[in-house]
Amino acid sequence: MKEGINPHRPRLSPFFRSPFSLSTLSPRRLFPTALQYLALVILFAFVAFPMFYIASGSLKSTADLSRNVLFPKTLRFDNFVKVFAYPEIIASFGNSAFIAAAALFVSVNACLLAGYAIARRKERLFSGWYLFFLSALMVPGVSTLVMLYRLIFALGLMNTRTALILIYSAGTIPFGILILSGFIKTIPTSLDESAMIEGCGYFSRIYLIVLPLANFAVIIFIVLQLPAIWNDFLYPLLFIRDKWKITVTLGVYNFSRVREADYGSIFALLTLALIPPVAFFIYGQKYIYKGIVAGAVKE
């Protein structure tokens, strides 16, 4: 090691040293590196095994499943055939997609309009209004559940997808206003003003000038909220009865209760239900990581 040649050269922090660069493989440092990989392998096994087991289990015969072998002896697709015998399960993927898309469409528009007003108006009224929305971030969902049930019943929306769309769009509004008004504040007002001089009205300004500039914030919002909507289970459980209107989560839940001990077909459906989130993650990875950082790191 060349330490000590130049006492003024800063040593790199252990954080910034790659464990794979050979110069660092002194016995004193090999131990932490080995420990680090050991920890990684253990945690990886813990996290990856269930997903692997579900996916491989979906291709196993009942005999293989009851013998708990890790890999199927022969690949069998009859578990998937059993799942496809329930067409409402397939429809549930469409329902979930429709509900999530509609809820996000409503909430992006509502938050964009309100976020613009909050970002641009200096009056107390609007900053108070903003806090009014944000206060809801502290209220746990279960505490409004009972009365929400009565309300949805009173509105005649029981057993409709509209109920879910309304609940999800309202539920995402506080976070949407937080992120969109924050982002719109960083867009220079001179752009609005020059559009105003050109005769651009209030609402066309929002959609023609601000929206194209704020699309990063809109994407972050969608990327963070879409999984929450897609994955929700409690509201469909309470509000949806008709088997043709169920969401994926309710479909998986109902299916697991109908075919209680038939783990092969349950695993097949779980594998199918894993596909959309995993695909979404792979597709939106860049934005997901950016979204986490935007939420957790001070500017």
Site for another protein in 18-47 (CB under 8 A): 18-20, 36-37, 39-40, 43-44, 46-47
Contact of 230 with 277, CB cutoff 8 Å: yes
Q: Is 144 in the site for another protein (CB under 8 A)?
A: yes
- Tell the burial category of 112 from Cβ atoms under 10 Å away from its Cβ (0-12, 13-18, 19+): buried
Q: At what angle do helices 248-258 and 87-120 cross, to 10 degrees?
A: 150
Rounded to the nearest angstrom, the gap between the alpha carbon of residue 246 and the centroid of all alpha carbons in its chain is 20
Q: Using CB under 8 A as the criterion, what x/- string covers residues 54-93 for binding another protein?
A: x--x--------x-x-x-----------------------
- Measured from the CB of residue 244, what is the shortest distance to another protein in angstroms? 19
Contact of 176 with 136, CB cutoff 8 Å: no
Interactions with another protein, residue window 196-255 (CB under 8 A): 201-203, 206, 227, 230-234, 238, 248-250, 252-253
Q: Where are the beta strands (DSSP E) in 148-206?
A: none
Q: Given candidates 2, 16, 22, 128, which one binds another protein under the rule CB under 8 A?
A: 16
Q: Given candidates 62, 109, 160, 162, which one binds another protein under the rule CB under 8 A?
A: 109
- Measured from the CB of residue 198, what is the shortest distance to another protein in angstroms? 14
- Measured from the CB of residue 215, what is the shortest distance to another protein in angstroms? 18
DSSP state letters, 169-221: HHHHHHHHHHHHHHHHHTS-HHHHHHHHHTT--HHHHIIIIIHHHTHHHHHHH
- Measured from the CB of residue 69, what is the shortest distance to another protein in angstroms? 9
- Measured from the CB of residue 67, what is the shortest distance to another protein in angstroms? 8
- From the list 76-84, 85-93, 110-118, 182-190, the region that binds another protein by CB under 8 A is 110-118
CA 126 – CA 115 distance, rounded (Å): 10
Q: Which residue, 27 or 140, has its beta carbon nearer to another protein? A: 140
Q: Is 101 in the site for another protein (CB under 8 A)?
A: no
Our CA angle for 281, 283, 285, nearest 5°, is 55
Contact of 271 with 55, CB cutoff 8 Å: yes
- Measured from the CB of residue 84, what is the shortest distance to another protein in angstroms? 19
CA 167 – CA 162 distance, rounded (Å): 9
Q: Is 182 in the site for another protein (CB under 8 A)?
A: no
Structure tokens at 247: 């969401």
- Measured from the CB of residue 218, what is the shortest distance to another protein in angstroms? 15
- Tell me the torsion sign for CA atoms 159, 161, 164, 169: negative
Interactions with another protein, residue window 116-135 (CB under 8 A): 116-118, 120-121, 126, 129, 133
Q: Given candidates 51, 75, 208, 258, which one binds another protein under the rule CB under 8 A?
A: 51
Q: Given candidates 25, 34, 75, 146, which one binds another protein under the rule CB under 8 A?
A: 146
Q: Given candidates 160, 187, 256, 287, which one binds another protein under the rule CB under 8 A?
A: 256
Contact of 265 with 79, CB cutoff 8 Å: yes
